[in-house]
Structure 1
Amino acid sequence: MEIRWLQAFVAVAEELHFGRAAQRLQMAQSPLSQTVRKLEKDLEVTLFERNTRSVALTAGGHAFLPHAYHILESVETARQAARASSGGVYGHIKIGFTGVLNHLSLPPLTRALRQRYPDIELTLVGRIMTRDAVAQLESGALDLAFVGLPVQSSAVATRLIRREPFGVVLPVDHALADREEIELRELADEGFVTTPLSAGSSLQEVAMKACVDAGFRPRVVQEITDPYMILLLVSTGVGIALMTSGIAPIAPPGTVFVPLAGEPVYMQHGLGWSAKRVSPAVKVALALAEDILPTPIET
């Protein structure tokens, strides 16, 4: 068994697509398929179910994945230990984020990491909703992730980094667009653009609960995973969207952000990591994050 075999397996397991995995590994698809087959032959287990339309992990593949992560992690730890004798901090950190919702948190952290620890390699993985982020932190596919709090996992540690009140994003020509604030119950008859329920978005979960608490269930007219695409759909007049105040400065033309009246409804933004997998690189990243993204004080 060779390390490159494991790297190939992990890439395909995460992408569930040989073409994307090959591109990620900067190799052709045919050699990648051959490498995976060598690993399967060595293990005497089929790791993937393949057909012309999809790739999926078999039961054996699911069972082998955490061990593959552990082996690759051990190799990286050994490499870091050897390099650490020179006094620097080395390693690789894979960070998951949603997208536009993290525009106030992700850039300051990654800039500081690159400046302070240039020998730490960063990989940023976008469009990762909270539910998927937690699963990938548990499995070791991610080292850090921006999540909505609270999370339901004893294996994932978190820290609050930002608290943002909700408001509503409206088309600029909407009847309520010139209001200074809006009562949530005033939106009961509106059509909402949201992420799919199956996406596991904390933003959507908090927003939907707020509507129910206000006495109505929102009428969803369009579902789309990317939060910024939600804003673009609002700009076209498809519907309205509940979003946090952090997006107000970057809302696209044709939209307006209006705060909600009454008791604020907050989105709790957090940073998550596996409590069992804190490499030297992740350790210094967490320490730096405490300075760059301090926990807000309760008011």
Structure 2
Amino acid sequence: MTLRQFEYALAVAEAGSVTAAAEALRVAQPSVSQQIRGLERELGVSLFSRTPVGLVPTAAGRAFLRDAEVAVRAARRAKATARAGAGDLEGELVVAAQMGLGTRQLPGALSALRRRFPRLEITVFEEANPAELERLARRGAVDLGLIGGLCEEGLYEGHHLGDEEFVVVLSPEHAQLAADRVGLRDVAREPWVRFDQASALDGVLRDVLRDNGLAPTTVARVSQTATAVRWAAHGLGVTLLPASAVPPGFEHLTRPVLPAVSMPTVAAVRPGAGPAEMALLEFLRQESWSYTGFPGSGSGKGHNWVIPPSTANSVPVV
């Protein structure tokens, strides 16, 4: 088996056809077909089934493709590391962020990374479900992740960047905007705009309200932080999310809460990380992770923190 065969099989799985995969790879269609047939002969299994919607991986194909993706990414990282010594870093860097974390800080760090390594291809995605992030990590599909909590032992090394303080978002007419901080009990009877039940953000709200003996009414569930903020601003309900996830123009509608709520933000980096991951980590460290309060919302200082528990088996962070 060759790395090229792995790349061709992954391309067919993504495109759903040999023709589309060949176009994406910029090679002749017969070459892709030949490589896939040769791979199947060597493995002794069929990797794809023909269906009305195109080529779909078989059960054996799905198992093979998971490991093939890890191998391809590892090869790309090795190539990038080798070229980095000559100041010509290439390849792909995959960054995953737990929804709501690093929304303000990540763009600046990525821009700095792109300026340092202009030929590096950077892919970033936001994931609400911690279990999905862990699955991607186990597959080796993520080079650096931003997570709330500590890393699972053996998978990644955790680097504590700071703590994300959570704020409540209110409508412009809400009386609680007159306060520097809003007590959770003062808005407990309000309808709440919440996030998907499997998301880490909803887990924070669920734990905080439970620990304070509160049982809120849920008026809506959304999958994006910006949607939650906009709906709360229009008076549909209140919502709770990290301060850095508040879109520009809505800061005046936010207040930190009492008791204060925060989540440690950790950069999870693969052991033996290459120059791109380490450079991004350094740029993330240079960003501001301490909440100092939005204009008109108080200083954000002088209060106790409520730290939600980590959902992962933890190891020390540095």
* Range of TM-score over shorter length: 0.7 to 0.9
SS in 1 for 2:241: strand
Match for residue 228 of structure 1 among 226, 229, 250? 226
Q: TM-score, normalised by structure 1?
A: 0.76
Separation in structure 2 between the aligned mates of residue 36 and residue 202 of structure 1, nearest angstrom: 42
Separation in structure 2 between the aligned mates of residue 47 and residue 168 of structure 1, nearest angstrom: 50
What is the deviation of 1:185? 1.7
What is the deviation of 1:12? 6.8
What is the deviation of 1:269? 1.8
Native 8 Å contact 2:128 2:200 kept in 1: no
What is the deviation of 1:259? 1.8
Separation in structure 2 between the aligned mates of residue 267 and residue 49 of structure 1, nearest angstrom: 45
Q: Whose helix fraction is larger, Structure 1's or Structure 2's?
A: 1
What is the deviation of 1:69? 2.7
What is the deviation of 1:75? 3.2
Aligned alpha-carbon RMSD (Å): 3.7
**What aligned pairs does 1:144-163 form with structure 2 within 5 A after superposition?**
144-152=144-152, 154-163=154-163
1:256 to 2:253 alignment: yes
AA at the equivalent of 2:116:
R
Separation in structure 1 between the aligned mates of residue 66 and residue 176 of structure 2, nearest angstrom: 51
Separation in structure 2 between the aligned mates of residue 48 and residue 170 of structure 1, nearest angstrom: 51
- Which region of structure 1 is more displaced relative to structure 2, 83-92 or 239-248? 83-92
Native 8 Å contact 1:138 1:156 kept in 2: no
Separation in structure 2 between the aligned mates of residue 3 and residue 49 of structure 1, nearest angstrom: 22
Separation in structure 1 between the aligned mates of residue 69 and residue 210 of structure 2, nearest angstrom: 41
Separation in structure 2 between the aligned mates of residue 125 and residue 141 of structure 1, nearest angstrom: 12
Native 8 Å contact 2:147 2:267 kept in 1: yes
Match of 2:200 in 1: 202
**What aligned pairs does 1:96-107 form with structure 2 within 5 A after superposition?**
96-98=96-98, 101-107=101-107
Native 8 Å contact 1:193 1:221 kept in 2: yes
Match of 1:216 in 2: 214
Match of 2:306 in 1: none
Structure 1: which 5+ runs fail to align? Answer: none
Q: 1:264 to 1:49 in 2, by over 3 A?
A: farther
The alignment-based identity, stated in percent, is: 25
Q: 1:175 to 1:294 in 2, by over 3 A?
A: closer
Larger Rg: 2
1:266 to 2:262 alignment: yes
Tell me the number of residue pairs that the alignment of Structure 1 and Structure 2 aligns. Answer: 284
Separation in structure 1 between the aligned mates of residue 236 and residue 63 of structure 2, nearest angstrom: 44
What is the deviation of 1:100? 5.6
Q: 1:10 to 1:224 in 2, by over 3 A?
A: farther
Match of 1:119 in 2: 119
- Which region of structure 1 is more displaced relative to structure 2, 243-252 or 186-195? 243-252
Q: Alpha-carbon deviations, 1:182-217, whole Å to 9, x = none?
A: 21122222221122112xx32222222111111113
Native 8 Å contact 1:5 1:35 kept in 2: no
**What aligned pairs does 1:1-299 form with structure 2 within 5 A after superposition?**
3-10=3-10, 18=16, 26=24, 38=37, 40=40, 43-47=43-47, 58-77=58-77, 79-80=79-80, 83-84=83-84, 86-98=86-98, 101-127=101-127, 129-152=129-152, 154-198=154-198, 201-248=199-246, 250=248, 252=250, 256-261=253-258, 263-275=259-271, 278-290=273-285, 292-293=286-287
SS in 1 for 2:263: strand
AA at the equivalent of 1:105:
Q
AA at the equivalent of 2:183:
E
Match of 2:296 in 1: none
What is the deviation of 1:242? 0.7
Q: 1:174 to 1:55 in 2, by over 3 A?
A: farther
Q: 1:124 to 1:249 in 2, by over 3 A?
A: closer
What is the deviation of 1:68? 0.8
Q: 1:221 to 1:118 in 2, by over 3 A?
A: same
SS in 1 for 2:202: helix
Q: Alpha-carbon deviations, 1:53-85, whole Å to 9, x = none?
A: 899865424432343134313432453365356
Q: TM-score, normalised by structure 2?
A: 0.72
Q: 1:143 to 1:35 in 2, by over 3 A?
A: farther
AA at the equivalent of 2:97:
F
Structure 2: which 5+ runs fail to align? Answer: 291-301, 303-318
